[in-house]
Amino acid sequence: MTGFLSALPGAASQGLIWGVMAIGVYITYKILDIADLTVDGSFCTGGAVFVMLFSSGVNVWLAMLAALLAGMLAGLVTGLLHTVCGIPAILAGILTQLGLYSVNMAIMDMKASVALSITQQETLGRLLVSLRFVKGALDGSYPIWRHPIIVVGLFTAVLIAILYWYFGTELGASLRATGSNPNMARAQGIDTDRAKVLGLILSNGLVSLSGALLCQYNGANDINVGRGAIVIGLAAVIIGEVLFSKVFINFALKLLAVSIGAIIYYIVITAVLQLGGLNANYLKLLSALVVAIFLTIPYWKGKYFSKPVKPTKKEENTHA
């Protein structure tokens, strides 16, 4: 139990980092109604770009900006495969993801794993987040504000604020309309293909950024780091929705729910590993099961347990 409690801050930190990715998944899966599998590749791309640039002495923010742009480029490729080449969205994402494996290897100099030299205090100090800050911020070797929960929490808050603004603009509204009803969107003069590409760019940019954060947190980037990322993203989106959809109506709060969903996911996973003594290799199976179950519940609810519609009294007003 003490092991689990002491692992909690770390789990929450990781959850917050994956939450950034989950917000990216929310944009494609919930807003655009596209299941984008590019994510599994573009997550690693972010880490790969970051680890190489940072190691060669580039400023941490610039390296993260580069990771963002690389992810956006991956999203652009999937978007063009889908809209210009007419490939179904799921397959377009799989193709990009597969290709990205080679690209990610090439970025990392054909090494399956590249580490940041965090044993050097100077290098460690330049990072935005690190596993070492989780303990360090609490035992006083680092200032408290360097705790990953605070740093990534702030990062997420700023991100949500920007997205809230963006989806309230004309351009953002055209993305939402495209996902809600493409026929209507086109009839209102919205280029739905362009909107989809924009959404995929935005989403994969965030996913890649999340990859860059996790790379810093772990102190290394591994070629397999993004494997199953889409499932974690979906889990976070669904957990957030199941728990908060009744209370969080506002768009910014919905994004917050996704982030919280990711934290809950990581805490549950940590609990299972620490308390249940489960072999970590069963994690992927567990994740897949959790997501499958959560996707099944609303479907079965509608199919087998739908309540008969009660006739309303004010028929005239409600059904005019």
Partner 1 sequence: MLDVQNIRKTFNPGTVNEKTALDGVSLTLNDGDFVTVIGGNGAGKSTLLNAVAGVWPVDSGSISIGGTNVTKLPEHKRAKFIGRVFQDPMMGTAATMQIEENMALAARRGRARTLRPGITRDERDHYREMLKILDLGLEDRLTSKVGLLSGGQRQALTLLMAALRKPDLLLLDEHTAALDPKTAAKVLEATERIVQKDHLTTLMITHNMRDAIVHGNRLIMMYEGKIALDISGEDKKRLTVEDLLARFGQATGSDEADDKLLLS
Residues that bind partner 1 (CB under 8 A): 166, 168-174, 176-177, 179-181, 183-192, 317-320
Give how far the C-alpha of residue 145 lies from the chain's centroid of Cα atoms, to the nearest Å.
24
Residues 2/142, Cβ–Cβ less than 8 Å: no
Residues 179/31, Cβ–Cβ less than 8 Å: yes
Nearer to partner 1, 141 or 169 (CB): 169
Report, in Å, the least distance between residue 188 CB and partner 1.
5
Report, in Å, the least distance between residue 317 CB and partner 1.
6
Q: At what angle do helices 60-83 and 39-55 cross, to 10 degrees?
A: 150
Give how far the C-alpha of residue 272 lies from the chain's centroid of Cα atoms, to the nearest Å.
22
Nearer to partner 1, 2 or 183 (CB): 183
Report, in Å, the least distance between residue 251 CB and partner 1.
11
Nearer to partner 1, 72 or 118 (CB): 72
Nearer to partner 1, 109 or 316 (CB): 316
Nearer to partner 1, 2 or 318 (CB): 318
Cα gap 51→63, rounded to integer Å: 8
Report, in Å, the least distance between residue 318 CB and partner 1.
6
One-letter amino acid for residue 28 of the chain: T
Local structure of residue 30 (DSSP, 8 states): I
Residues 33/179, Cβ–Cβ less than 8 Å: yes
Report, in Å, the least distance between residue 220 CB and partner 1.
38
Apex 90 CA angle, 215 and 16, nearest 5: 30
